[in-house]
Chains A and B, each alone.
Chain A
Amino acid sequence: MLQVQHLHKAYAARQVVSDVSFSAEPGQIIGLLGPNGAGKTTTVSMICGLTAPDQGSVLLSGQRIDTDDSAVKRKVGFVPQDIALYEGLSALGNLEIFGALYGLKGAQLRQSSLAALELVGLADRARDKPDTFSGGMKRRLNIACALVHDPDILLLDEPTVGIDPQSRNAIFDNLETLKARGKTMVYTTHYMEEAERLCDRIVIMDHGKVIANDTLAGLYRQLPVSATLEIDVDGEVDIAMLKQLAGVKTAAQENGRLVVGVDSLSTSASTVLAWLAAGSHRVMRISSGRANLETLFLALTGRQLRD
Chain B
Amino acid sequence: MNAFLALVKKDLILYFSNKRALIITLAAPIVIAAFFGSLFGNSDKKPTRVPIAIVDQDKSPIAKQVIAGMKEDSALNVLELDEAEALTQVQKGKVRAAVVLPPKFGELAGRAMFSANAKPEVKIHFDPTQSIALAMVRGMLSQHVMKAVTQSMMGTGGTKMIAGVRADVLASNDIPTDARKDLLTLFDSVERVQQSSTTATSSNKAAGRSFDIPFKTVTVEATGNVERKYNSYAHSFGGMTVQFLLFMGIDVGIGLLLMRRMGLWKRLRAAPVSRALLLGSTVASGTITALLLMCGIFAVAIAVFGVRIEGSIIGFVGNMIAFALLAASFGLLIAAIGKTPEATRGLAIFATLLMVMLGGAWVPSFLFPEWLQTASLANPARWAVDGFDAMTWRGLGLEAAVAPIGAMLGFSALFTVIAIWRFSWEE
Contact = CB atoms under 8 A, between A and B. Distances in A.
Are A and B genuine complex partners? Answer: yes
A265 interface: no
Interface in B1-33: 2-3, 5-7, 10, 13-14, 17-18
B304 interface: no
Interface of B: 2-3, 5-7, 10, 13-14, 17-18, 262-264, 266-275, 277, 426-427
A89 B10 CA distance: 8
Nearest to A68: B274
Question: What range describes how many residues of A lie at the interface?
Answer: 35 or more
A88 B10 CA distance: 9
B266 A101 contact: no
A5 interface: no
A97 interface: yes
Given A50-B270, A76-B270, A84-B264, A89 B277 contact: no
B270 A78 contact: yes
A68 B263 contact: no
Contacts of A73: 270-272
B271 A101 contact: yes
B273 A68 contact: yes
B267 to A, nearest CB: 5
A277 interface: no
Contacts of A85: 264
A80 B267 contact: yes
Interface in A68-88: 68-74, 76, 78, 80-86, 88
A85 B274 CA distance: 20
Nearest to A145: B267
B13 A101 contact: no
Contacts of B272: 68-74, 101-103
B7 A105 contact: no
Q: Which 4 A-B pairs have the closest CB atoms?
A: A82-B263, A100-B6, A73-B272, A84-B263
A51 interface: yes
16 contacts: A50-B426, A51-B427, A69-B272, A69-B273, A73-B272, A74-B272, A78-B266, A82-B263, A86-B264, A88-B13, A89-B10, A89-B14, A98-B267, A100-B2, A101-B6, A146-B267
Given A93-B13, A97-B10, A100-B2, A80 B266 contact: yes
Contacts of A76: 270
A135 interface: no
Given A68-B275, A70-B272, A50 B266 contact: yes
A50 B269 contact: yes
Nearest to B278: A68
A86 B7 CA distance: 12
Interface of A: 45, 48-52, 67-74, 76, 78, 80-86, 88-89, 93, 96-98, 100-103, 105, 145-146
Contact of A86 (B10, B269, B426): B10
A290 B247 CA distance: 61
Nearest to B6: A100
B93 to A, nearest CB: 50
Contacts of A83: 262-263
Contact of A67 (B6, B263, B274): B274
B268 to A, nearest CB: 7
Nearest to A96: B6
A76 B266 CA distance: 13
A103 B263 CA distance: 21
A83 B273 CA distance: 21
Nearest to B259: A84
B85 to A, nearest CB: 63
Given A67-B274, A68-B274, A69-B277, A101 B14 contact: no
A51 to B, nearest CB: 5
Contacts of A103: 2-3, 272
B426 A52 contact: yes
A88 B14 contact: yes
A52 B426 CA distance: 8
B296 to A, nearest CB: 20
Nearest to A9: B426
A195 to B, nearest CB: 22
A51 B5 CA distance: 26
A188 B426 CA distance: 20
B427 A45 contact: yes
B426 A51 contact: yes
Nearest to B426: A51
Contact of A101 (B3, B17, B263, B427): B3
A274 to B, nearest CB: 52
B329 to A, nearest CB: 21
Given A69-B277, A83-B262, A86-B14, 20 more contacts: A45-B427, A50-B266, A50-B426, A68-B274, A68-B275, A73-B272, A74-B272, A80-B266, A82-B262, A82-B263, A85-B264, A93-B10, A97-B6, A98-B271, A100-B2, A100-B3, A101-B271, A102-B272, A103-B3, A105-B2
A84 B7 contact: no
A80 B427 CA distance: 12
Nearest to A97: B10
Contacts of B6: 96-97, 100-101
Nearest to B263: A82
A67 B274 CA distance: 8
A253 to B, nearest CB: 37
